[in-house]
């Protein structure tokens, strides 16, 4: 009787009403990932579409965790990690498609340096172009730099210069959560994702807390996958725009000095007060309310029903 090899990587996906794209993601995992050596856990956040049926009938070898309610991206991942047995965790969005087995390279990088805690692979748009997937440390300066980089990348004359910056393995401050490779021990040491972030900024918060503990965040362009980017958010764009600001305010409360918190609130007040006066958009008013109150989530009730 052969002894089963220990699981090296647990791949965790959080799904909410993603049946339209889920099959492509799971098919790519089935095609490129050696299932006996890895485990794949799909956490369904109380979807009301055909997601659960699709997973159960077509991917019985994947472990399905059905949540009673949608508590958000971070909470869903935390639930998956509780049952994961891998030495490493690969937190993967359902709007991604693998084109190769990228795990051996990620494992090799992680094992080469015990101070590396998190790795983000190269993300590509469906047309094969680079998708910027790293960010400087968030704050007034960092957010300005990140937005400038994204804005510059839309300029064709700047694209080649920016792409050259991401040709080598490098240490960064933040990698996006669409494809997030992390030591299981570190994830548990940090207590997982902060579930006060329903969506947005949760991976930035985790990266920041990992750096507080002396770990490195790495980006590697030597392996890549396709990311559709924003599919799950498009269905509730207006509501999620409020959640973005709620998470942004909370992140600043956790990690930024008081004067940056004040600058952010002043900026948001003038931005959304002007929008409310001009458009009478109720979402602008909701953001203004957030500046003076803190709620666990502005969207949890909306997206759970």
CA 164 to centroid of chain Cα atoms = 24
198 shares a domain with 122: yes
The domain boundary, picked from 202, 231, 260, lies at 231
Q: What does the DSSP assignment read for 118-131?
A: EEEEEEE-TTS-EE
Please check the confidence at residue 294 and state whether its pLDDT lies above 60: no
Sorted by sequence, the CB contacts under 8 Å of residue 91 that are 6+ apart come out as 12, 77, 177, 179, 180, 181, 182
DSSP 8-state class, residue 94: T
Over range 250-273, report the average pLDDT. 90
Q: Give the chain's mean pLDDT.
A: 88
The domain boundary, picked from 231, 250, 270, lies at 231
How do residues 140-189 score in pLDDT, each as one tens digit? 999 999 999 999 998 888 888 899 999 999 999 999 999 999 999 999 99
Residue 83 falls within a domain, yes or no?
Answer: yes
At what angle are helices 19-32 and 51-58 packed, to 10 degrees? 30
Q: Beta strands of the chain (E only): which ranges? A: 9-15, 38-44, 63-66, 88-92, 96-98, 116-124, 130-131, 134-135, 170-172, 174-175, 179-183, 216-227
With a pLDDT cut of 90, the percent of the chain lying above it is: 73
257 shares a domain with 221: no
Residue 4 falls within a domain, yes or no?
Answer: no
285 shares a domain with 181: no
Query: Which residue segment(s) compose the domain that 246 sits in?
Result: 236-304
97 shares a domain with 36: yes
Residue closest to 121 by CA, chosen among 145, 99, 142 = 99
99 shares a domain with 132: yes
> Has this prediction a pTM greater than 0.75?
yes
Q: Is 282 exposed, middle or buried (0-12, 13-18, 19+ CB in 10 A)?
A: exposed
69 shares a domain with 175: yes
Domain at 50, CATH number: 3.90.550.10
Kindly report the backbone phi and psi dihedral angles of residue 182, in degrees, each rounded to the nearest multiple of 5, phi listed first: -145, 150
Over range 243-258, report the average pLDDT. 93
Residue 1 falls within a domain, yes or no?
Answer: no
CA–CA gap between residue 54 and residue 40 (Å, rounded): 15
Q: Tell me, what's the pLDDT at 4? A: 56
Count of CB atoms within 10 A of residue 294's CB?
11
Count: domains in the chain: 2
Residue 145 falls within a domain, yes or no?
Answer: yes
Q: Tell me, what's the pLDDT at 172? A: 98
Report the chain's C-alpha Rg in angstroms. 19
270 shares a domain with 300: yes
260 shares a domain with 139: no
251 shares a domain with 107: no
How do residues 32-91 score in pLDDT, each as one tens digit? 998 777 999 999 999 999 999 999 999 999 999 999 999 999 999 999 999 999 999 999
172 shares a domain with 38: yes
297 shares a domain with 176: no
């Amino acid at each position: 009787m052969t002894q089963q090899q220990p699981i090296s990587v647990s791949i965790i996906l959080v799904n909410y009403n993603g049946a339209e794209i889920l099959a492509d993601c799971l098919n790519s995992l089935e095609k490129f990932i050696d299932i006996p050596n890895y485990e794949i856990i799909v956490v369904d956040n109380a979807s009301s579409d055909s997601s659960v049926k699709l997973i159960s009938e077509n991917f019985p070898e994947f472990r399905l965790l059905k949540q009673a309610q949608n508590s958000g991206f971070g909470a869903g991942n935390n639930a998956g990690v509780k049952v994961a047995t891998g030495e490493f965790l690969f937190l993967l969005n359902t709007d991604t498609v693998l084109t190769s087995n990228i795990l051996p390279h990620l494992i090799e990088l992680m094992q080469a340096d015990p101070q590396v805690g998190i790795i983000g692979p190269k993300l590509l748009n469906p047309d094969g172009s680079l998708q910027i997937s790293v960010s400087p440390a968030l704050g007034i300066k960092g957010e300005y730099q990140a937005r400038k980089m994204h804005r510059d990348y839309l300029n064709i004359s700047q694209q080649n210069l920016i792409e050259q910056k991401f040709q080598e393995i490098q240490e960064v401050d933040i990698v996006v959560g669409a494809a997030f490779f992390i030591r299981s021990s570190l994830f548990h040491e940090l207590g997982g994702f902060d579930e006060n972030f329903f969506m947005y900024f949760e991976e930035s918060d985790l990266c920041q807390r990992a750096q507080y503990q002396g770990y490195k965040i790495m980006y590697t362009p030597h392996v890549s996958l396709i990311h559709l980017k924003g599919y799950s958010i498009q269905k509730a764009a207006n509501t999620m725009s409020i959640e973005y600001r709620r998470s942004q305010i909370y992140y600043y409360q956790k990690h930024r000095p008081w004067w940056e918190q004040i600058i952010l609130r002043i900026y948001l007040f003038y931005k959304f007060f002007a929008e409310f006066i001009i458009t009478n958009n109720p979402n602008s008013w909701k953001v203004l309310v957030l500046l003076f109150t803190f709620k666990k989530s502005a969207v949890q009730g909306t997206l759970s029903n």
